[in-house]
Structure 1
Amino acid sequence: MLLTKNNNKRSQVSSKVVGNRILINVTVVGSAGPIRFVVNEVETVAGVVDTALKLYAREGRLPVLGFNCNDFVLYCPVAGTEALKPWETIGSVGVRNFMLCKKPKEVVDSDDGKSVASGIPRKSVGGWKAWFNKSLNLKVSSN
């Protein structure tokens, strides 16, 4: 009689689960290592971002990110350079490794009214390109 109760519980649990469960790795930019957790294939990208942020905070990782999943995008490094759309299902991508990045904040330039991404700092003079060009122009003398 005890076995039938356990079998009924198993059938109830398995009827609630929709789709296959997969183990995914989410690497947060600037963090030490990936977060690993299990999700359903039919889970949306927004749900995965929300779960990743909660697990990140629960583990006490640095840097502190916050809980607003609208401030982050999920990338698939293998599939391409575009961010995944929040309404896509995580299983439709076909991979299990993802990268979580903060969205670059856009600032409206007051001169021409165009929006500029402020996530990347700009250097007005010089920079690595100038250094690289300068180093190519150096002549090596052979004695």
Structure 2
Amino acid sequence: MLLYKQKKNQNVKGNRLLISINVLGSAGPIRFIVNEEQLVAAVIDTALKSYAREGRLPILGSDLRDFQLYCPNTGPDALSPWDTIGSHGARNFMLCKKPQPEKVPEEGKTPSGPAIPRKSAGSWKSWINKSLNLKIYSH
């Protein structure tokens, strides 16, 4: 009697790699096995699903188009989503959110928030003078 179901012999092209993906702001890396022929976009998707399944913080979301994968060996540019993950020869990566473009206010309109922070009303001496009508002189 067979106690376990035997897996079918699957023809997997390419080697399998154990990769580590550090998420900016998270406590530790996510590790999982991928096929070296897998696209970077598929790896980002798998990383986001694993991150959410583990309940990690900060909450990232699930849209892979909002994220970029960086490889420290290839320089400061993000990896193309259409590259294969094994083509870079690395196993450690960094997952970051894409920078959001800043909204430029239209002409004639003021920004929604205060542009200039308010200064304090004065020192504690002036507050006491105003509230108690006392005069405190400083040197």
Paired letter, 1:96: R
Q: Deviations over 1:37-92 (max 9, x none)?
A: 00000000000000000000000000000100000000001220000000000000
Query: Residue in 1 aligned with 2:110?
Result: none
- Unaligned runs of 5+ residues in structure 1 are 113-123, 125-143
Amino acid in the other structure paired with 1:32? A
Give me the TM-score of the superposition, normalised by structure 1: 0.67
Q: Answer yes or no: is 1:45 the counterpart of 2:25.
A: no
Number of the residue aligned with 2:16: 21
Distance 1:28 1:63 in 2: 9
Q: 1:67 aligns with which of 28, 50, 62?
A: 62
In the comparison of the two structures, how many residue pairs are matched? 105
% same residue: 61
How far, CA to CA, are the matches of 1:55 and 1:18 in structure 2? 23
Runs of 4 or more, structure 1, over 2 Å off, are: 107-112
Structural RMSD (CA) = 2.2
- 2:27 corresponds to 1:32: yes
Q: Residue 64 of structure 1 aligns to a residue in which SS?
A: coil
Residue identity matched to 2:47: A
- Of 86, 91, 99 in structure 2, the residue corresponding to residue 91 of structure 1 is 86
TM-score normalised over the length of structure 2: 0.69
* Equivalent residue number for residue 51 of structure 2: 56
Q: Structure 2 unaligned segments of length 5 or more: list them.
A: 108-115, 117-139
Partner residue in 2 for 1:80: 75
Match of 2:120 in 1: none
Rounded Cα–Cα distance in structure 1 between residues aligned with 2:56 and 2:103: 33
**Which moved further from structure 2: 103-112 or 39-48?**
103-112
- Amino acid across the alignment from 2:104: D
